[in-house]
Amino acid sequence: MIRIATRRSALAKAQAFQTGRLLQRRTGEEFELVPMATSGDLAVDIPVDQVDVKGMFVDTIRASVLSGDCDLAIHSYKDLPTDPTPGLAIAAVPEREDPRDILISREGYALATLPPVATVGTSSQRRALQLLRAKPGLQVLPVRGNIDTRLRKVADGEYDALVVAYAGLRRLYAPKEAMGLGPLGLPLKAAPLEPGECLPAAAQGALAVECREGDDRILSLCRQIDHQPTRRTVAAERAMLGGIGGGCLAAVGALCSVTDSGTLELLGMAGDPDKRRMVRLSWQGAYDKPEELGDNLAAELRTALGWS
């Protein structure tokens, strides 16, 4: 029996269950979920952008793996700090879900048709900066709570629109229903934001399966669900994020893909939310050197922004 540590939220448990089932199908091993609260879950009055940077959404979960109480932890990879944690290893990175952000409203707005003074809910500086660059008159306001809570705030008219990660909707609801949000019985519609409109967070849509270093049995099992293209593209994005040095607090977006020729192409953005200044750049690099690609693009972005 493999004990899998996860946050208590519906989305976190869905991600952990789906990963556990994938591991079970590939290896035949049974699994058990161990839900737990993290410091970030308890800090309900603090904006998300002010708690992620210290790994507060993964601290308790990681501690349970280090202590041996659990064998694995399943994380949203974007929640993990970029610095490695001694004693832990990323055992697998399963194939990535859709990394895009998605715009949710009662009227079915796309970004192009969103009213210029609409009220949009998001606690992400990255999203806010890109939305305001496209439509400076928007009223971008913070929003907390699980996905159901945030969706209901749009349905109730508290916000004209909401921006969330598309991957979360797809994991919670069947893909065909995610666009119409039918399971909640809410009169809402959704439209994905393309990378040219809003670059996602580094590693958005990807999961990290974490275990203790040296746990050869678990490491061997997890290799069966590791997806190398996802591991490498996410490594480039996280290296870029780490090279910029802002952690989860910075207005930073990244999306890496494998080209037809087998190289990596990394799109990146970084900016100053207070000054509404933003730079977007792209860089290509070798498939087997994702961290080098991320470091190179981070250096270019820092230079373009005049950051020392």
- Pick the catalytic residue from 62, 150, 232, 238: 150
- Pick the catalytic residue from 70, 211, 222, 248: 248
Contacts 24+ apart (CB under 8 A), 267-272: 267/195, 267/199, 268/199, 268/240, 268/297, 268/298, 268/301, 269/126, 269/130, 269/199, 269/301, 270/244, 270/246, 270/301, 270/302, 270/305, 271/129, 271/305, 272/305
- Pick the catalytic residue from 126, 212, 232, 238: 126
- Pick the catalytic residue from 54, 135, 144, 280: 144
Residue 276 among the catalytic residues: no
Residue 96 among the catalytic residues: no
Residue 150 among the catalytic residues: yes
Tell me the DSSP string of 208-272: EEEEETT-HHHHHHHGGG--HHHHHHHHHHHHHHHHHT-GGGSEEEEEEEE-TTS-EEEEEEEEE
Counting every residue written for the chain, the total comes to 308
- Pick the catalytic residue from 7, 78, 212, 231: 78
- Pick the catalytic residue from 7, 62, 96, 127: 127
Residue 248 among the catalytic residues: yes
Sheet holding 189-193, edge to edge: 139-141, 119-121, 161-165, 101-105, 189-193
Residue 126 among the catalytic residues: yes
- Pick the catalytic residue from 71, 79, 215, 295: 79
Residue 25 among the catalytic residues: no
- Token readout for 76 is 């949203």
Residue 238 among the catalytic residues: no
Which residues are designated catalytic? Answer: 78-79, 126-127, 144, 150, 248
